[in-house]
């Protein structure tokens, strides 16, 4: 239910964004692309792209709702679609490169089904499938931005991306003895490098 509400609000916000942006320069858009690599034993890595509309509270702080795509390698699900709320705090020193902190918190959508088969300790066959489903998503990042104009900037960031993955084991044991839990959870985490454009 929470996923459905969050997805509905995000779609509504994204479709209404161009009209809102035309009326108020406090509304902006952040586009990011990046690649994340292993930070745990699962050899996880992923290509990433995020689209994050936001509202500027002041010159330092902004909040918004966004969505993205993560193409996973070596882990499942193969693709996840995080939908999230996000906030960004940017320092405004009199420097060419301005440091910032950003965080995204939400839920991932997407699942992958994998067929399995095996033989138990009594040499009896079994078959079934494992369903991997994306769930809770969080991504804090730190970086620096370079102002092209007052409302436009380029940025580079390092992120820590954590996606909780739920697994459902559907086994057809026949007469075999299979010791597998029906449900399980694990965390897929990566360290990412992102480049982006904000306007």
Summarised one tens digit per residue, pLDDT across range 115-133 is: 777 766 666 676 778 889 9
User: Percentage of the chain with pLDDT > 70?
Assistant: 74
What letters, b where the CB count within 10 A reaches 16 and e where it falls short, cover 60-71? eebebbbbbbbe
Chain centre to alpha carbon of residue 186:
15
pTM: predicted TM-score of the whole model, two decimal places: 0.78
Report the largest interatomic distance among the alpha carbons of the chain, rounded to a whole angstrom.
72
Domains of the chain: residue spans and CATH: 2-111+135-162+189-198 (2.40.160.20)
Measured distance CA(174)–CA(161) in Å, rounded: 40
């Amino acid at each position: 239910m929470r996923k459905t509400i969050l997805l509905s609000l995000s779609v509504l916000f994204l479709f209404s964004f161009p009209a809102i942006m035309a009326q108020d320069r406090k509304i902006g858009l952040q586009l990011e692309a990046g690649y994340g690599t292993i930070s745990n034993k699962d050899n996880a890595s992923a290509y990433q792209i995020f689209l994050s509309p936001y509202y500027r509270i002041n010159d330092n702080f902004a909040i918004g709702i966004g969505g993205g795509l993560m193409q996973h390698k070596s882990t499942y699900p193969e693709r996840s679609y995080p939908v999230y709320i996000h906030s960004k705090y940017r320092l405004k020193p009199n420097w060419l490169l301005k440091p910032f902190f950003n965080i995204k918190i939400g839920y991932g959508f997407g699942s992958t089904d994998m067929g399995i088969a095996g033989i138990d300790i009594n040499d009896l066959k079994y078959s079934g499938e494992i369903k991997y489903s994306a769930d809770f998503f969080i991504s804090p990042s730190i970086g620096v931005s370079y102002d092209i104009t007052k409302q436009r900037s380029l940025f580079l960031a390092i992120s820590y991306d954590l996606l909780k993955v739920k697994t459902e084991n559907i086994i057809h044991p026949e007469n075999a003895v299979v010791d597998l839990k029906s449900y399980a959870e694990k965390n897929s985490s990566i360290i990412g490098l992102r480049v982006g454009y904000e306007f």
